[in-house]
Structure 1
Amino acid sequence: MCQKPKVAFVCVHNSCRSQIAEALGKLLAADSFDSCSAGTQTKPKINQDAVRLMKQLYSIDMEQGQYSKLLSEIPPADIVITMGCNVSCPSLPCQYREDWGLDDPTGKDDDCFLEVIHSIEKKVLELKSRVDDGLL
């Protein structure tokens, strides 16, 4: 049996978008790839609006088993997905990399968060499909 690829979702603080992507990757694509997330800096805790909305939408408590991590704390990744942080991201060795270009909803209203969460859900499912089809 082939080993599943490891996907790293990366943004600056690893407190919002990349955490949402990690949670949705684990929920929606665990049979296709292993998900983790990290950042170039960390925050003391995951964005509380993201935590609240992920609980409401998917019954996922991101504070159980997820926390803000540095890039150096995650295993080597096969696929690196950056969230669209508009900062230079340190080079992580990987076989494939793409940027999802998502605006950070931190400090904005629930509608902004919901838009980002639904975009991440769609992109995770698209990524799963490409992995399953052997395109990545």
Structure 2
Amino acid sequence: MSRVPEVLFVCVHNAGRSQMAAALLAHHGMGRVAVRSAGSEPGDKVNPAAAEVLAEWGLDITAEVPSKLSTGDVEASDVVITMGCGDTCPVFPGKRYLDWDLEDPAGKGVDVVRPIRDEIDRRVRGLLAELLDA
């Protein structure tokens, strides 16, 4: 791709999985990828365990605010990655959709959320390699 690819991460509350994925892709992408996240039913705040496990890696998501998924978010994206949002994500022709089946970190402690973070990181690095080789 000659332009900066745009990636949208979507989960139900936009408080855990999608926030971690967006932060990790933004970090690893170093400006080479535009990243956003949203939720079908956004929560009030970022999951504290998700924030804590990212802080262990020097990433701070405590100032992020869960946002509502909009049609515009999807339209602006090249890749839409859903994480348990079911059928609430609008589908547009020409978009690449991936569904990452990941455990929901809601209500879980850091010992459970760390492996979720690690799996998201693994997938994000793979996605980044694909996007930048395209």
TM category, shorter:
0.7 to 0.9
Matched residue, 2:110? 110
**Structure 2: distance between partners of 1:69 and 1:120:** 20
> Residues 28 and 3 of structure 1: is their aligned pair in 2 closer, same or farther, counting only changes over 3 Å?
same
Corresponding letter in the other structure for 2:38:
A
Deviations, residues 67-123 of structure 1 (Å, cap 9, x unaligned):
10111274711100011x162232143521101100102222322201100000000
Moved over 6 A (4+): none
**Structure 1: distance between partners of 2:11 and 2:118:** 18
Matched residue, 1:63? 62
Deviations, residues 5-30 of structure 1 (Å, cap 9, x unaligned):
11000001101000000100110123
Correspondence 1:76-87 to 2 at 5 A: 76-83=76-83, 85=84, 87=86
Correspondence 1:89-100 to 2 at 5 A: 89-93=88-92, 95-100=95-100
**Structure 2: distance between partners of 1:111 and 1:49:** 9
Matched residue, 1:23? 23
Gapped runs of 5+ residues in structure 1?
Answer: none
Matched residue, 1:48? 48
Identity of aligned residues (%): 31
**Structure 1: distance between partners of 2:4 and 2:116:** 26
**Structure 2: distance between partners of 1:90 and 1:53:** 27
Alpha-carbon offset, residue 44 of structure 1? 1.1
Deviations, residues 19-44 of structure 1 (Å, cap 9, x unaligned):
00010011012343111100111111
> Residues 86 and 39 of structure 1: is their aligned pair in 2 closer, same or farther, counting only changes over 3 Å?
closer
**Structure 2: distance between partners of 1:106 and 1:129:** 29
TM-score, length-scaled by structure 2: 0.88
Corresponding letter in the other structure for 1:60:
L
Aligned residues: 131
